[in-house]
Amino acid sequence: MENLPTEIIREVCGSFCLHCTEPPDPRFLFMHPGVRERQALAKLCLTSSKLRAIAQPLLYHRIFISERQKSLSIPLLNTLISRPDLAQAVRHLTITDMCTERNIIDDAVLSRLTLAARQRGLPLSDDWIEDHDLQPHSLMQQLLLQVPHVELVAFLSLSYQIWDLLGSVDSATRSLPTLRKVVLDCYDTEMGYDLSIVTSLFSLAPNLNKLSLFQCCSVSNTLSLRNVTCLALEASWISADDMSRLLSSCGKLDTFVYDGSADMISDGAPRVSANGLVRMLEEQGHSRTLRRLSLNFFTTSSEAREDVNSLAGFPQLHELSLEYVLLRWPQATPTNAQAGILPASVEGINLHGLAEELNDILELVVAQASNGLCPGLKRIAFNIPSGDNDATLGNLRRRFQDLGISCLSRRNWPVYS
């Protein structure tokens, strides 16, 4: 293998790097530790000096610190400080269940970490390692500041108390210019979290364009997210005021995903409704740029289903996903009216809900398509709960097929990546 051209060897090694290859579902790449791929690259590094020079930077493209690996955070940080070339190779950084146990650090290593942090603009006291509560916080700050070319950062299952990152770093002198995507999850608390606690991180990432949030319950301040065009909120429950504040912080969105199916985790403030959310997107100008929209309002309570009256004001919309959200005309509008509830641009629709509810929505879509109001519609997919009777949907499948529209009984394309 060593006799092959360097570019060929690099291509072979790159096939073991999840950053360099296209994964089946890129939405959740940050959750994949890539153990087998990393083992393969590590073995190549041990083969010869030539292969190590090619494979080692790829090995550091993705750093995944999990519960089982938390004791490695300090040796890793020490390596990144000693080998700036490897620090510059890091593209994805995922930290889950960061070390909460007291670490014993050699004096020489401690001195090196402290000096490197200060050089990066992070002021640390000489005894920072002795502060048991702040130690994980300090380690995360240092890891971020040591990887200048990082593109994706994911913090999973972390206590929200340590998310106030990098607040003491001057954004005028230090930044993360290549950081494009941030993922935040905090499922170790029943209260969710306020997105404003990571204000300092956003201020250091001027080119951030994708933000994926899990278990977010509030946004108390306007944030610096002017370049964010892809916003996803999963298992979140946000009031209308906080949602308006978040949307006004973002740039003009291309993709918006809202999963409001989580149990109530806020302090009782009413959550935003599906129709209210659509109106909010229109009022703030996002409807003119959105190409992908996904809404999920599943609830186990006896509340009436959420509904959306019209998406005609979204002229660029290509992909639409609705889960337990009804799509219907306002009652004052006859169902055979030549008024569009869907934009002419829509190409794919994904629906999830009870068969009876989906039947009504699909009848509406068929009527729209038959009247030529959805000329771009190419595919429609729907899911119903296991055991629900979908016999009434068979005729609708044939009607869609007669219109040249593919009709599937499963979801087959991601709304966002």
Q: Tell me the pLDDT tens digit for each residue of 312-322.
A: 899 999 999 99
Same domain, 89 and 188: yes
Confidence of residue 257 (pLDDT cuts 50, 70, 90): very high
Query: Is the separation of the CB atoms in 200 and 166 below 8 Å?
Result: yes
Is 69 contained in some domain?
yes
- Is 370 among the domain residues? no
| Most confident residue range from 43-47, 54-58, 228-232, 362-366 | 228-232
Q: Name the burial class of residue 184, with classes exposed (0-12), middle (13-18) and buried (19+) by CB atoms within 10 angstroms of its CB.
A: buried
In this prediction, residue 258 carries a pLDDT of 93
Proportion of the chain above pLDDT 70, given as a percent: 76
328: number of Cβ within 10 Å? 15
- Range with the poorest average pLDDT among 184-188, 241-245, 280-284: 184-188
In a domain, 145, yes or no: yes
Task: Report pLDDT for 333.
Answer: 47
pLDDT tens, residue by residue, 82-120 = 899 999 999 998 887 654 455 567 778 778 888 888 887
Residue 178, pLDDT above cutoff 80 = yes
pTM: 0.85
Q: Domain of 23?
A: 1-59
In terms of domains, do 51 and 156 share one? no
Task: Confirm whether 20 is domain-assigned.
Answer: yes
**Could you give the number of structural domains in the chain?**
2
Does 186 share its domain with 122?
Answer: yes
Q: Are residues 112 and 20 in the same domain?
A: no
Q: Do the domain assignments include residue 152?
A: yes
Q: Which of 59, 84, 99 is the last residue of a domain?
A: 59
Whole-angstrom Cα distance, residue 238 to residue 229? Answer: 19
Do 35 and 101 belong together in one domain? no
Asked whether residue 259 is assigned to any structural domain, the reply reads no
246 pLDDT band, cuts 50/70/90, is very high
Tokens coding 377: 């519609």
